[in-house]
Structure 1
Amino acid sequence: MAADDQDRTEEPTAKKKSDARNKGQIPRSRELGTMMVLVGGGIGFLLWGHYVAGALFRMFQEGFILEREDAFDMSRMLVKLEDMMYEIMWPVLTVLIVLVVFAVIGNIAVGGYNFSTKAMQPKLSKMNPINGIKRIFGMQGLIELVKSIAKVAVVIGSAYMCFNLFYQELLHINIENMPSGLFKALEILIWVFLILSCSLIIITLIDVPYQLYNHNEQLKMTKQEVKDEHKNAEGDPQVKGRIRSAMFRAHQRRMLQEVPKADVVVTNPTHFAVALKYDPLGTGAPRLVAKGADEMAAHIRKIAEAHQVPILTAPLLARAIYYTTEFEEEIPEKLFAAVAQVLAYVFALRDYKKGKVKKRPKQFTPSKLPIPPDMQY
């Protein structure tokens, strides 16, 4: 296990973090949650404590006042109890709302909100007493012991500071009248509680970075795990290569099937070949129905010869179409004029061979085709 931990030198990937989050493995700081609840309670009592104290004072005052009629009528006692509960309910509810807000913030501040059903599933490994002993006497147990000792030391130091701070006021409480003396004691108590709670901020500032660091260390991966994850995410390179090869062959077969339907094949003459199709009655521009280089170009020429598709040699035009146009795409607008001349010659030659016209078209001159400089390859 130690050797395996030493091999985990790679930072966790996004997928590793996502999988861990789905399992409920997120960084959490119990010290932050505890501190926020205590500080929230102190702030709540500091802001609304006098309302709570006043409500308690009035509740006890009214509770000890008993009229003669109250002793003989149980319904009056219930009404008095209801009034007392209503008196104390709203001040206490206000403080509870503050406690809930601080508790939620403290628990989601580190790691964020996360709901995972997998984390709710029982795990037999957690019930294993041997694993429990390892946690107690292991590194994690030692760290928890150090934190507990530090918390005790910080709280004791803060309590000693509070004693020196409020010593004189505590000595004079007994000479104050009621209920001002009671309110003064409660105010001192709240301030002491708030100071002691805030002292835990020191522990929290140490615990939060440690929990983030420890969580990241637990998720670290070996180099082999990173490779395996990348392979699973991207797919096996050999399988992907075979798929790409099969798709490429299918694409080539489809293009070769379209060559007999082409109107003309323009060649380099040997390295490139592109087959064009144009519908004079349609609204679109001429389309590329097949293209290829070297061996694929030879196949296109061979099929074109077998099906008597005209083959013209125009190196600049062939390369321009090959590099700028994909299968079943229309040719670029900049090549319209050059392709129009080629198609015009092909259609005129076809009509001449069918006897529709008596005059043979002029000899095709590839060098005179208007190929823009930026389309020359």
Structure 2
Amino acid sequence: MADDQDESEKTEEPTPKRLQQAREKGDVPKSQEIPGWFVLASGLVVIALLGPSIARYLAGSLSVFLARPHEISLDPAAALDLTASTAWSVSVAVGFAFLILMAAGLAGHLVQTGLMFSTEKMQPKLSKLNPVEGVKRMFGPQGWANFLKGLGKMALVAGAIFIVIWPKRTDLAALPAMDVSGILQVVLVDVILLFIAALIAYAAIAALDYVYQRQSFMKRNRMSRRDLKDELKQTEGDPMIRARLRQIRQERARRRMMAAVPDATVVITNPTHYAVALKYEQGVTAAPICVAKGADAVALRIRELAREHNVPIVEDPPLARALHASVEIDETIPAEHYKAVAKVIGYVLTLARKRA
């Protein structure tokens, strides 16, 4: 009951990280019918391109058995030589074609999964040896799906073969009266037609099976909302911890900012709401630099520090608002404010000289 509840909670599509984790475990959407289709297609190519040559070659090698059986020697040594030469001829004829079929089957897997290596599937699992689990797999949804898929596959392929063979039943009945070369030529043409019919039927089977396997894979890797939250915590950290770290960084930045206020040249305020502390050293800084700024409570603290350390405070509401909005800490003020700030700093420097 708990498992059913867990499955019912998994309503969210898998994230890229979940799909990558599944791939690392060897779990990917893969249809076994696609490699079969590739093998059939490569077989058709081999037969169509190399078929006539192979047919002639085999006709010459097997003619002694089919057309001239009376010439076969009963001497053990001669029979052994004949068997060895015939086996070699057949191996040479079909060996190259067999390698092409193997490469096509491998390509059918690579097209779906790409290069992938995982030891997860090789690890022994006791559940695979459990007969009860085996019966569940055999008669479960996956087992019935495989059974119905097998029936549909046999029906489609059998129907395609019947469509090709039935119109040629008369020609096939006349094969025993032909010589070996004629038999091989007729069989070659019929085999090519059978391959084409089987490929068409198998293409539909492979496409449907891949869609089914893809849907099963996505359903198998669905996530619950809790899974999504846990993954978010793993990738980006706990939201509470991130908020606390952000608060600590802000507090440290505020302390550094306040520590720079006593060295400021002037603090420009909008009496109660904004305060911007600027530092300017003639011949050292090219333009005034914002060393601190803030609003409301932070602005009040900046003004208090300025009074404690005898930093001049100038009330200029428009300029204070403009600087607060346009300049960041440790940045020089924008060029459009040079003139207004120059007047303020000039006024402050004049007061300082008078006091001196």
What is the TM-score of this pair, normalised by structure 2? 0.84
Q: Which of residues 247, 253, 263 in structure 1 aligns to 2:249? A: 247
Q: CA deviation at 1:140?
A: 0.7
Question: Residues 97 and 275 of structure 1: is their aligned pair in 2 closer, same or farther, counting only changes over 3 Å?
Answer: farther
Cα distance in 1, alignment partners of residues 295 and 255 from structure 2: 14
Match of 1:235 in 2: 237
Residues 171-197 of structure 1: CA deviation (Å, up to 9, x unaligned): 343444442332332332343244334
Distance 1:34 1:178, change over 3 A: closer
User: Helix, strand or coil for the counterpart of 1:9?
Assistant: coil
The equivalent position to 1:314 in structure 2, one of 308, 313, 316, is 316
- Residue aligning to 2:329: 327
The two structures have a TM-score, normalised by structure 1, of: 0.80
Give the alignment's Cα RMSD to 1 decimal.
3.0
Q: Give yes or no for the alignment of 1:169 onto 2:171.
A: yes
Q: Higher relative contact order by CA 8 Å / sep ≥ 6: 1 or 2?
A: 2
What is the CA-CA distance between 1:246 and the residue it aligns to? 0.9
Aligned to 2:274: 272
- Distance in 2 (CA, whole Å) between partners of 1:205 and 1:268 is 71
Per-residue deviation, 1:100: 4.4
State the 1:112 CA deviation.
4.4
Alignment partners' CA distance in 1, 2:204 and 2:156: 8
Confirm whether residue 21 of structure 1 aligns to residue 18 of structure 2. no
Cα distance 1:248–1:136, how it changes in 2: closer, same or farther (>3 A)? same
Greater mean deviation of Cα atoms: 268-277 or 2-11: 2-11
Amino acid at match of 1:308: N
Shift in Å, 1:24: 1.5
Q: How does 1:191-210 map to 2 (within 5 A)?
A: 191-210=193-212
Matched pairs, number: 340
1:153 is aligned to 155
Residues 33 and 107 of structure 1 are in contact (CA less than 8 Å); yes or no, is this contact kept in structure 2? yes
Residue of structure 2 equivalent to 1:130: 132
Distance 1:159 1:251, change over 3 A: same
Find the aligned partners of 2:337 and 2:57 in 1 and give their Cα distance: 90
Which sections of structure 2, spanning at least 5 residues, go unmatched? 72-76
Measure, in 2, the Cα distance between the counterparts of 1:39 and 1:189.
13
- Give the drift of 1:243: 1.0
Q: Would you identify which runs of 4 or more consecutive aligned residues in structure 1 move more than 6 Å?
A: none
Where does residue 352 of structure 2 map in the other structure?
350
Deviation at residue 31 of structure 1 after TM alignment: 1.6
Structure 1 residue aligned with 2:225, among 216, 223, 240?
223
- Call closer, same or farther: CA 1:336–1:118 in 2, change over 3 Å: farther
Could you give the per-residue CA deviations for residues 183-220 of structure 1, whole angstroms, max 9, x where no partner exists? 33233234324433442223223211111111111111
CA contact (8 A) 1:56 1:88 kept: no
Amino acid at match of 1:261: D
Name 2:74's counterpart in structure 1: none
| Alpha carbons of structure 1 residues 282 and 52: separation in structure 2 relative to 1, 3 Å | farther
